[in-house]
Amino acid sequence: MKLLSSDKGEFRFLVKDISPAELNAFRRIIINHLPSMAVDTVEILDNSSALFDEIIAQRIGLVVLKTDIESYFVKEKCKCKGAGCARCTLDLSLEAQGPCIVTADMFISKDPAVVPVHGKTPIVKLLENQSLRVVAHAILSTGKDHIKYSPGLMYYQGNPSIKIGNVKNVEEIVEICPRKVFELEGKKLKVKNNDACVLCNACVDASGNEIEVKGSGKDFIVTIEPWGQLTALEIVEGMVDSLHEQIDELSEEIKKLK
Ligand SMILES: [Zn+2]
């Protein structure tokens, strides 16, 4: 495994000798099994805005919350057995008086470690004499329950190998590549940044098939794109832990069969 780049919280790394099936299992764990926090229920104490309570609750539910996975439990695994307590539920309150645009950063969280990631997320516009007062209850859950709990995306592509044949329009090729993979050395076309290639084949078409681009079937470039609840590193660590847990669970079940 080799880290290729990390930019704006996004990780790109090369994994060698692995199958797409294995990578897909990792991808599905990230989407469905890693817990993160989001608002589950909303108490609307006052709403004189133009939007219905349900629409406001839906919008609040989609607010991305920075998650502290060490301090919270998934409700079902909590001591309170799902009743709701400080170990599994966090209250965020909001009071706004128009005229203004209500944004996510107006929420006051009881836990300073769990706050909206994108503060400028708009919830509703209030006009003169309109107001909104809500208490939102955030919980830890997984993408299996609702996609809003998914901490991010993982996607992958075959590691590119690029062969340059007898290319005439070298300058055009350098220009046309959206990932700036090529450079010119005198009049000669060279690959400058192989890892940046996304197999779009723009160079293949423009060169009349004089350039050959192939993605490997066993070495892959993996990208992890977090939404903000967890960092890319926390996602990778959580994915490994979750995989171990599931394998342990499976082997326990197999033992029972004997
Ligand atoms: Zn609890």
Cα–ligand 1 centroid distance for 159 (angstroms): 45
For the domain that residue 162 is a member of, what is the CATH number?
A: 3.30.1360.10
* Whether 132 and 166 share a structural domain: no
Cα–ligand 1 centroid distance for 178 (angstroms): 50
* Residue 74 and residue 141 in contact, taking contact as beta carbons nearer than 8 Å: yes
Q: What is the pLDDT of residues 37-83, one digit of tens each?
A: 999 999 999 999 999 999 999 999 999 999 988 889 988 888 998 88
Q: Which domain holds residue 209?
A: 2-32+152-224
**Number of Cβ atoms within 10 Å of the Cβ of 46:** 12
Q: What is the pLDDT of residues 142-197, one digit of tens each?
A: 999 999 999 999 999 999 999 999 998 999 999 999 999 999 998 899 999 998 99
* Whether 13 and 96 share a structural domain: no
Cα–ligand 1 centroid distance for 93 (angstroms): 19
Total of domains in the chain: 2
Residue 239 domain-assigned (yes or no): no
Cα–ligand 1 centroid distance for 242 (angstroms): 21
Task: List the 108-109 sheet strands across, edge first.
Answer: 36-47, 131-141, 89-97, 108-109
Residue 253 domain-assigned (yes or no): no
